[in-house]
A and B are shown apart, each in its own frame.
Chain A
Amino acid sequence: MANVDSREAHVEIDSVRLGFGERDVFEDLSCRFARARITVLMGGSGTGKSTVLRMIAGLQRPDSGRVVVAGEDVAALSERGLQRVRRRLGMLFQDGALLDSMTVLENVGLPLREHTKLGEAEIRDAVHERLAAVGLHDVDELLPGELSGGMLRRVALARAIIMDPEIVLCDEPFSGLDPPNVERIEALFRELCHDRGLTLIVTSHHMASSLRMSDQIVLLQHGRAVLGDPGELATSGDADITDFLGADGAALARQIAREGHR
């Protein structure tokens, strides 16, 4: 299937091979993620969605191949080089990865404290602004252990975007969220992407929201990536893709293709 977006690639994975022990996760994976677009990585469990995000973040090196992020091959960079590239990235981990000895305010403000000369009042304002964007108020002094799963993930998302990164990687951002908060995060993603020009790469099992908000879908199957927009995937005729989408998913994808994304 052809790449749906001819824009400049902000992230490009080229002929990547990666195995864990005897098992090959990717034999020859290639795909590209366009600048200022929302790309949703979909696929069954164990197809390597989170691993793709970890490779882009430089947390997992491939056995061979290139992972080019904003013009730099992160697979070949030293830890110091990776630190430079990561300043342009924000990442939401599946379990939040918040520091459990720090409060919400300290967690979200940590990148600002480390990399800027902002005063405490400015940091507090910036933290409150990001927390409000993800629908959270009055949680400054709570520890991660005192938050629900959905709140934890939203705090982690606030931390991921606090430095205004160019690229945001989100691992299952909708997991554990109620419908109003799923819509709130979808709207935030659209704003980040279409108003502020951020590139979003999101893994999700949440079929409806993935189809609704994505500009491009990358479907991982059998160590390969199939790219397309929701309508293309629904009408591809590929049995594996049809199986993965299911009848409801395919119908929704066709409807979205007919009516436009948003």
Chain B
Amino acid sequence: MTDTPIHRLGRFGSSWIVGLGRIANFAGGIVLAIVRPPWRVQRVVRAVYDAGVLSVALICGAGFAVGMVLGLQGYTTLVRFGAQESLGAVVGLVLIRELGPVVTGLLVIGRAGSATTAEIGAMVSTQQLDGLRMMSIDPMHFVVMPKALALAFVMPLLSSLFIVFGVFGGYVVGVELVGLDGGSYMASLENAVGFRDDVLQSLVKSAVFGALLGVIATYRGFTSPGNAMGVSRSTTSAVVTTSVWLLLADYVITAFWGV
């Protein structure tokens, strides 16, 4: 049979759909593992520490830097319209609605997501998962579920931390460097930010990004070929795939939220 571009397109399409089905099945397995005893509290806490606590310095530093840049850019733009007193509102809204969840998501993908894929991939290549199976311990329950749950859990917390440090960075630039009134900065922020449209949307976005990262990072590691090149490719694939899905999900949530 000849291999025409249509055949190749069909093969690509069907393999993509099969892949999507496998990830959905895998995600279902994680959900089942969460509700099935024994409760692996210690392993989840350990995974939260690895993915969350070890990312705190990075998130705080990045949030502060992004807030400072927003403060500078926001001030130079607003001052043209005589609206520099709204700097707090601009910095706060941009951080809460978009940059907080998205930049935190991308940073956590690069730090904790890639580490998760590489760690599980290495466990595949050194037969550690087979070792667990031979002890009648489900690797999905023992290894995958705690890591996926931890990634989903820490993302909203880290995003909130990013936003707080971003607002502080904007404050440092706007109030301490440029000389705006501190009370005006905070008052404009407080008046502009609503709970449902801004804070809740931000939390939902980061929770969805965390869940996406948890599923994709662990899936790529779990299905990694058992060799060094396979682990490296799976890690790259996890970072790229999750980043693309995160940006797509960001658009979908923003659009459906009715902004």
Which residue in B38, B123, B127, B138 is a CB contact (below 8 Å) of A83? B138
Say if the beta carbon of B57 comes within 8 Å of chain A. no
Residue ID in chain B nearest A169 by CB atoms:
B134
Of residues 111 through 139 on chain B, the ones whose CB sits less than 8 Å from some CB of chain A are 123, 126-128, 130-138
Check A114 against B137 for contact (C-beta < 8 Å).
yes
Q: Using Cβ atoms and an 8 Å threshold, which residues of chain A touch B134?
A: 57, 59, 86, 89-91, 160
Complex: A115 Cα to B134 Cα, angstroms? 13
Q: Using Cβ atoms and an 8 Å threshold, which residues of chain B touch A135?
A: none
Max count, chain A CB within 10 A of own CB: residue among B123, B132, B134, B137 = B134
Which residue in B38, B131, B136, B138 is a CB contact (below 8 Å) of A97? B131
Say if the beta carbon of A247 comes within 8 Å of chain B. no
Which residue in B128, B133, B136 is a CB contact (below 8 Å) of A99? B128
Say if the beta carbon of A143 comes within 8 Å of chain B. no
Sample 23 A-B pairs with CB under 8 A, ordered by A number: A54-B130, A57-B133, A57-B134, A79-B138, A84-B136, A86-B133, A86-B134, A86-B135, A86-B136, A93-B130, A93-B131, A95-B126, A95-B127, A97-B126, A98-B128, A99-B123, A99-B132, A100-B128, A110-B135, A111-B135, A111-B136, A115-B136, A160-B134
Complex: A153 Cα to B134 Cα, angstroms? 16
Complex: A159 Cα to B131 Cα, angstroms? 10
Say if the beta carbon of A196 comes within 8 Å of chain B. no
Check B131 against A98 for contact (C-beta < 8 Å).
yes
B136 CB to nearest A CB, Å: 4
Which 8 residue pairs are nearest across A and B when measured between Cβ atoms? Answer: A97-B131, A97-B127, A91-B134, A83-B136, A111-B135, A86-B136, A93-B127, A87-B136
Of residues 89 through 148 on chain B, the ones whose CB sits less than 8 Å from some CB of chain A are 123, 126-128, 130-138
Complex: A90 Cα to B254 Cα, angstroms? 53
Complex: A90 Cα to B135 Cα, angstroms? 7
Q: Using Cβ atoms and an 8 Å threshold, which residues of chain B touch A90?
A: 134
Residue ID in chain A nearest B140 by CB atoms:
A79
Complex: A250 Cα to B38 Cα, angstroms? 53
Of residues 111 through 135 on chain A, the ones whose CB sits less than 8 Å from some CB of chain B are 111, 114-115
CB within 8 Å: A-B pair count: 56
Q: Using Cβ atoms and an 8 Å threshold, which residues of chain A touch B133?
A: 57, 59, 82-83, 86
Check B128 against A59 for contact (C-beta < 8 Å).
no
Complex: A111 Cα to B136 Cα, angstroms? 8
Q: Using Cβ atoms and an 8 Å threshold, which residues of chain A touch B138?
A: 79, 83
Complex: A59 Cα to B135 Cα, angstroms? 12
Give 1 or 0 for each of A51-68: 1 = CB within 8 Å of chain B CB.
000100101000000000
What's the tally of chain A residues with a CB closer than 8 Å to chain B? 27
Residue ID in chain B nearest A114 by CB atoms:
B137
Check B136 against A110 for contact (C-beta < 8 Å).
no
Q: Using Cβ atoms and an 8 Å threshold, which residues of chain B touch A91?
A: 131, 134
A130 CB to nearest B CB, Å: 14
Residue ID in chain B nearest A54 by CB atoms:
B130
Complex: A82 Cα to B136 Cα, angstroms? 8
Complex: A91 Cα to B133 Cα, angstroms? 10
Q: Using Cβ atoms and an 8 Å threshold, which residues of chain B touch A86?
A: 133-136
Which residue in A54, A94, A95, A114 is a CB contact (below 8 Å) of B135? A114
Complex: A89 Cα to B131 Cα, angstroms? 12
Residue ID in chain A nearest B132 by CB atoms:
A99
Give 1 or 0 for each of A29-61: 1 = CB within 8 Å of chain B CB.
000000000000000000000000010010100
Residue ID in chain B nearest A111 by CB atoms:
B135
Complex: A115 Cα to B135 Cα, angstroms? 9
Task: Apart from A93-B127, A93-B130, A99-B123, list 18 A-B contacts with CB within 8 A.
Answer: A59-B133, A59-B134, A82-B133, A83-B133, A84-B136, A86-B135, A94-B127, A95-B126, A95-B127, A97-B127, A97-B130, A99-B131, A100-B128, A111-B136, A111-B137, A114-B38, A114-B137, A115-B136
Which residue in B38, B123, B130, B137 is a CB contact (below 8 Å) of A110? B137
Residue ID in chain B nearest A88 by CB atoms:
B136
Q: Using Cβ atoms and an 8 Å threshold, which residues of chain A touch B137?
A: 110-111, 114
Q: Using Cβ atoms and an 8 Å threshold, which residues of chain B touch A83?
A: 133, 136, 138
Complex: A90 Cα to B131 Cα, angstroms? 10
Residue ID in chain B nearest A60 by CB atoms:
B130
B44 CB to nearest A CB, Å: 14
A169 CB to nearest B CB, Å: 8
Complex: A100 Cα to B126 Cα, angstroms? 10
